[in-house]
Amino acid sequence: MKEAEISFSFPTEVVREGEISFVAPRLEAFVDEPWEYAPSKAPVFYNPIMELNRDLAVLALQAYQKMRDKKIAACEPLSGCGVRGVRFALEVEGISRIVLNDINEEAVRLAEFNVQRNNLGDRISVANGDANLLLSSYAAPRRRFDCIDIDPFGSPVAYIDSAIRALRDHGFLALTATDLAPLCGVHPRACIRKYGGRPLRTEYCHELAVRLLTGCLTTMAAKHGMGVRVLLSHSTDHYIRVYAIANYGAKRADISVQKIGHILHCFTCLHRETSSGIISSSRQECIECGAKVSAAGPLWLGKTSNKEFCALMIKELKERNLRNQKIILKLLSLSRDEAEASPTYYVTDKICDKLDLPIPPIIEVMEKLRNSGYEATSTSFCSRGIRTDAPAKVVKNITARLVT
């Protein structure tokens, strides 16, 4: 099929991303004003802002494939124009087959075109239907996938159960969530309804969002006798993303469920602590200042990134030349360095706002914390965030002493 021979009922253009080129809707043609959100106005969804998301997905899949050291089968059940699947096939070594799917007929037509355009017809198939129906048809043990990438509009929750069923033992699951208003506590009831946990509007709400999504994944996986291990998570632009491995075994599932709990937060003095278990601690008062504490959860209290996996991804990154190379290196280095640190982080602006003080350089706060015997690392979740094992009162004292 030659490019000139195919016609779409809407304006298109050739786009380059990673190592591929593909045909996408010409976004400018679908908006009257520059502030309008073009991706959702086009007849087929395509968002150039998500290039970074796809870059990381390529690197993560390659790192996973190298860890497994075998040929892998992947599925993207909400594939839009097919860019992610085509990139997987051409940029990741060791992929045997990829199944793409979309409910939108126009999207499927465009994805099929992009598959043919890149000569990938022998390795990629494109289906047209509901993502849950597709995943269910691959739930039988011998039909399952090694990797499933769920990249929907809004929440991935509706697809997690069928993705778990269509995932092989030691399978790799990638989840995007763009519904940050519920996850970050703007619509708490929607979060409880969808994710089964209570969010909080704290300065580290994006980390809480990742923990709520992972908590939800953990309880769903446990129902199928699978335990979960997070390899990487990040919060970028308008979305969060979680990469996890799921392993069969009742004991593994139990161990994962034991990593579910709550984060208690005091909005008065910024003290925070974790409490294990599905039921929240009955304590209502802050142990530091006596004010009422708020609880986020049930959510995942385990690690949100894995040091070795981040290092593997960095190694893969250094062999490539991506447009977002520097941003990705920073994100992965931060994720690697904070992998062992404790949950939640402090934001200097928030502390200084509370104490009515000017903001000292974050590097100096971290140095003073380390000199006082505490750990202090930056976080990929917030450029002004500090992860530390120091109590809130110590972080506040050190910050205040630097500016008074």
Ligand X SMILES: C[S@@+](CC[C@H](N)C(=O)[O-])C[C@H]1O[C@@H](n2cnc3c(N)ncnc32)[C@H](O)[C@@H]1O
Pairing of β 124-128 and β 20-25: unpaired
Strand pairing partners for 264?
273, 295
CB 263 within 8 Å of CB 343: yes
Does 106 bind ligand X (CB under 6 A)? Our answer is no
Which C-beta is closer to ligand X: that of 50 or that of 180? Answer: 50
Residue selected from 18, 152, 227, 360 as contacting ligand X according to rule CB under 6 A:
152
286 contacts which partner out of Zn ion, ligand X, none, CB within 5 to 8 A by kind? Zn ion
Distances (CA, A) of 214 to 69, 153, 209, 229, 235: 26, 18, 9, 9, 13
Does 80 bind ligand X (CB under 6 A)? Our answer is yes
Could you give the 3-state DSSP secondary structure of residue 304?
Answer: coil
Residue selected from 28, 105, 153, 353 as contacting ligand X according to rule CB under 6 A:
153
State the minimum distance, in angstroms, from the CB of residue 114 to ligand X: 11
CA atoms within 13 Å, Cβ hemisphere of 261: 16
State the minimum distance, in angstroms, from the CB of residue 161 to ligand X: 14
Does 87 bind ligand X (CB under 6 A)? Our answer is no
Which C-beta is closer to ligand X: that of 83 or that of 386? Answer: 83
State the minimum distance, in angstroms, from the CB of residue 382 to Zn ion: 21
d(CA 43, CA 91): 27
Does 110 bind ligand X (CB under 6 A)? Our answer is no
Which C-beta is closer to ligand X: that of 60 or that of 386? Answer: 60
Q: Which two tokens stand for residue 91?
A: 């940029």
Q: Which two tokens stand for residue 397?
A: 């004292």
According to CB under 6 A, which residues from 48 to 67 bind ligand X? 50, 54
Which of 36, 32, 81 is closest to 54 using CA atoms?
81
* Cβ-based neighbours of 283, under 8 Å, separated by 6 or more: 264, 293
83 contacts which partner out of ligand X, Zn ion, none, CB within 5 to 8 A by kind? ligand X
**C-beta neighbour count of 316 within 10 angstroms:** 20
Which C-beta is closer to Zn ion: that of 93 or that of 285? Answer: 285
Does 338 bind ligand X (CB under 6 A)? Our answer is no
Binding site for ligand X (CB under 6 A): 45-46, 50, 54, 77-80, 83-84, 101-104, 107, 130-131, 151-153
